[in-house]
Amino acid sequence: MAPWGPFMPCVGGLVVLPNENLMTLQALLRHRTNAEAENRLRMALEFLATGWLLPGTQKFANYFIALDALFGSKGNWDKPIKSGVRERLKLAPDDDRIGRLLGIRGELLHGDCASVETSRGYLPYRQKYLHHPTDDVFSFARGCIRAEGDSS
C-alpha cells in the first residue's frame, strides 16, 4: 500500500514525528475539563483528517466543517468562524481571506458552482493571495487546531 504523505505512511511503516509535532499532539490529546471544547476539538480533528483523503471539493468542504466545529454556532456560523480564525491566528483586521473563503464556500455548498475552481470567487482569490483556496482553508483549520493545543 502506498503512503498518503508524511503522517500516513504505508501500513506498518515507520512514523517519525518532529519534536514540535509530538508536543502539539500531546497538547491536543490532553483532557479538557470543558466538555464542549473537548467535543469541538475532536470533531474538528476528525473532519480535518478525513479531508486529507478526499478529492478537492469535498476536501474544501471538510476543512470548513472543521472550522465550523471549532467556532460555529447554530443559526450564526459565519461571524464566529471569521472572528475565531482572526483571533486564533492573530490575523490583521483588514485581512479578508477568511471572508473571501466563506464566499467560495457559500457558492459551493448552495449550488452556485460545481467546484471550488468554478466559483466566482476563485480567480480573484488566486490572483490576490497566490494560493489555492483549499490550501488556505487547510492552513487556517490546522493553525486554529494547533493554537487550541497551545492554549490548553
- The domain ranges of the chain are 35-151
Lowest mean pLDDT among 7-11, 55-59, 147-151: 7-11
Three cell numbers written together for 78: 459565519
pLDDT digits (tens, 9 = 90+) for 58-91: 999 999 999 999 998 888 878 999 999 999 999 8
Contact (Cβ atoms closer than 8 angstroms) between residue 44 and residue 145: yes
- Of the pLDDT bands very low, low, confident and very high (cuts 50, 70, 90), residue 94 is confident
Query: Does residue 4 carry a pLDDT above 50?
Result: no
pLDDT digits (tens, 9 = 90+) for 140-152: 999 998 888 666 5
Phi, psi of 141 (to 5 degrees): -65, -45
State residue 8's pLDDT score.
52
